[in-house]
């Protein structure tokens, strides 16, 4: 099998056009993926979806361990920085050793590195968070001073706004690791993103699906982002087959809200958008900024036709209502 090459930032990058021993043309994509069961599932889902459209497409995985995978003894806000779960994959993309990288969109920083782009965003999965309690408790029936495990300031803050007696504790690890800690009784309950549980077939353990009135999700939660080089026209054409326009609009508005606030993945900012097809595809967006103790909340809602404009407008509205003061305290902490 022969392979052609093209230059990328002065380095040879494999083209997708291959010639097999029978002289037939095939295509190949190499995907970067993290080692967790969820990351592998998501990458395989993308590969299977692409191969259903392009039967001659050959796909392979390259497993890459990120900083967020290595440092498991500290809460995410303490590690700090952007791209804890994505930077190493992006480096592989820029080097040309892989063609695409599959991310949970909520983990992807809003500012893309020069030379990279989000090639496609497929249809979004479950956006809600889920509570799991080995004793069958819901958020309202948990005993006073119960412990809830979560790795997210956004979740912890929203919990405390409803149940200030709850003790939130750091919970790190892959989805199966965190679930095992809950089922072992190390916490009275834990909260995880519902999309990961459903993708891994673990949603049978969910005690309560938290409504959006109780727990607003992280920007981009439930959506996948397949990243590639911005000048890789072949990958872009292939990935376009999985693009979902409505999901792209919604998550773009949510991430524009986050970016307008100057926040990263670990700040207590939540956002959720929907597209109303009955109103000329207008986008409805709800955004939230909340203090760590859950006592100070800035909540904004609005509609618009342009996702970026809507997100930025609501971010400015939130700032005018005191969001910056809340986030400054988070940064100092």
How do the pLDDT tens digits run along the chain, 333 residues long?
333 333 333 343 344 554 444 445 578 999 999 999 999 999 999 999 999 999 999 999 999 987 655 555 555 555 455 556 688 889 999 999 999 999 999 988 898 899 999 999 999 999 999 999 999 999 999 999 999 999 899 999 999 999 999 999 999 788 999 999 999 999 999 999 999 999 999 999 999 999 999 999 999 999 999 999 999 999 999 999 999 999 999 999 999 999 999 876 668 999 999 998 765 789 999 999 999 999 999 999 999 999 999 999 999 999 999 999 999 887 544
The pTM score is 0.87
Predicted local confidence at residue 84, as pLDDT:
63
Tokens 């030379």, residue located: 115
Q: Is 55 exposed, middle or buried (0-12, 13-18, 19+ CB in 10 A)?
A: exposed
SS3 267: coil
CA distances from 94 to 9, 66, 109, 121, 236 (A): 8, 16, 16, 20, 15
Contact of 304 with 278, CB cutoff 8 Å: no
> What DSSP designation does 315 have?
H
| Mean pLDDT, all residues of the chain | 87
C-alpha triplet 267, 89, 246: angle, nearest 5°? 65
User: Hey, which residues are catalytic here?
Assistant: 107
Predicted local confidence at residue 316, as pLDDT:
97
**pLDDT per position as a tens digit, 4-38:** 333 333 343 344 554 444 445 578 999 999 999 99
Tokens 């509570």, residue located: 131
Spell out the domains of the chain, with CATH numbers in brackets.
Answer: 2-121+223-243 (3.40.190.10), 129-209 (3.40.190.10), 249-332 (3.30.160.40)
Predicted local confidence at residue 75, as pLDDT:
54
Predicted local confidence at residue 2, as pLDDT:
32
**pLDDT per position as a tens digit, 110-152:** 988 999 999 999 999 999 999 999 999 999 999 999 999 998 9
3-state SS string for 173-233 = CCHHHHHHHHHCCCCCEEEEEHHHHHHCCCHHHCCEECCCCCCCCCCCCCCEEEEEECCCH
Contact of 100 with 29, CB cutoff 8 Å: yes
């Amino acid at each position: 099998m022969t392979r052609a090459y093209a230059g990328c930032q002065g380095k040879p990058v494999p083209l997708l056009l291959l010639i097999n021993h029978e002289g037939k043309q095939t295509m190949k994509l190499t995907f970067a993926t993290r080692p967790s069961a969820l990351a592998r599932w998501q990458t395989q889902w993308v590969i299977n979806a692409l191969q259903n459209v392009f039967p001659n497409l050959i796909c392979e995985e390259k497993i890459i361990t990120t900083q967020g995978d290595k440092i498991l003894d500290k809460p995410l806000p303490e590690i700090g920085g952007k791209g804890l779960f994505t930077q190493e994959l992006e480096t592989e993309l820029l080097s040309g050793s892989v063609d695409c990288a599959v991310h949970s969109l909520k983990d992807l920083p809003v500012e893309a590195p020069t030379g990279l782009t989000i090639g496609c965003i497929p249809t979004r999965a479950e956006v809600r968070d889920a509570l799991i309690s080995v004793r069958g408790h819901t958020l309202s029936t948990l005993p006073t001073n119960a412990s809830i495990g979560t790795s997210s300031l956004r979740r912890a803050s929203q919990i405390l706004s409803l149940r200030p007696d709850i003790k939130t504790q750091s919970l790190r690890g892959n989805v199966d690791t965190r679930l095992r800690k809950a089922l072992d009784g190390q916490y009275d309950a834990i909260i995880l993103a519902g999309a990961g549980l459903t993708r891994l077939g673990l949603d049978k353990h969910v005690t309560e699906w938290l409504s959006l009135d109780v727990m607003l999700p992280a920007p981009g939660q439930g959506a996948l982002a397949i990243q590639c080089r911005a000048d890789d026209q072949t990958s872009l054409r292939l990935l376009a087959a999985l693009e979902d326009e409505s999901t792209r609009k919604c998550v773009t508005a949510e991430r524009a809200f986050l970016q307008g606030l100057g926040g990263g993945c670990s700040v207590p900012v939540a956002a959720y958008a929907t597209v109303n097809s009955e109103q000329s595809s207008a986008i409805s967006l709800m955004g939230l900024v909340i203090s760590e103790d859950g006592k100070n909340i800035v909540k904004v809602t609005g509609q618009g036709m342009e996702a970026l404009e809507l997100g930025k407008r609501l971010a400015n509205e939130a700032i005018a209502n005191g969001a910056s003061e809340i986030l400054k305290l988070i940064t100092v902490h």
